[in-house]
Amino acid sequence: MDTKQKILSTASKLFYEQGYNSTGINQVIKEAAVAKASFYQHFPSKEDLLLAYLVTTQENTDKEMRAQIAKCKTPREQVLALFDFLSKLARQTSFKGCNFLNIAAELPNDQGKVRSIIRKQKNGIRNLFAEILKPAGKEDLADEIYLLFDAALVSGKVYADVWPVKTARKIVEKLI
């Protein structure tokens, strides 16, 4: 792993596990075992690191979700596969909810680049559901299913339990 990736992967883990505001740059430098100067060379500010974290997480999440879909045939199966994927995540003890919504809650007044990446990620999920549902002529359900997806992420975290995902899946089954 090169230095930049090492920093990013350490920061991603810390931002998700302990929160963005609770993570200092010095902790990232220490745990990534990189030199301070090379850290600042790659990420001049903590916000640069945050933006890189959000962009790569968005790309990885998109890839993972598309891999889940690829296994299924019908739109209905594909949508439900994404909720099953969420069930698996919610069962992990390391599950802390949605990377993007957590940052949104930590930076309530941000209206700049950060908020715009978060919206882009959420729009990506809405579009993914629309794409899946289009062949069934049900793309108008995309936003409703997106909402349930986010709801499952958020409540699954508050309860540290899988029941919110199951409940969201139950509604989805009724809708499609």
Other Cβ atoms closer than 10 A to 165: 25
Q: Which tokens sit at 41?
A: 């060379």
Q: Give the binding site for its own copies (CB under 8 A).
A: 16-19, 21-22, 96-97, 100-102, 104-109, 115, 118-119, 122, 143-144, 146-148, 150-152, 154-155, 157-159, 163-164, 167-168, 170-171, 174-175
Q: Give the CB-side neighbour count of residue 143, counting CA atoms within 13 A.
A: 1
- Tell the smallest beta-carbon distance from residue 41 to its own copies (Å): 28
- Tell the smallest beta-carbon distance from residue 166 to its own copies (Å): 9
Q: Which is nearer to its own copies, 27 or 167 (CB)?
A: 167
Q: Which is nearer to its own copies, 66 or 120 (CB)?
A: 120
| CA distance to 63, 137, 145, 169, per residue, from 148 (Å) | 20, 20, 5, 8
- Tell the smallest beta-carbon distance from residue 2 to its own copies (Å): 28
Q: Give the CB-side neighbour count of residue 54, counting CA atoms within 13 A.
A: 22
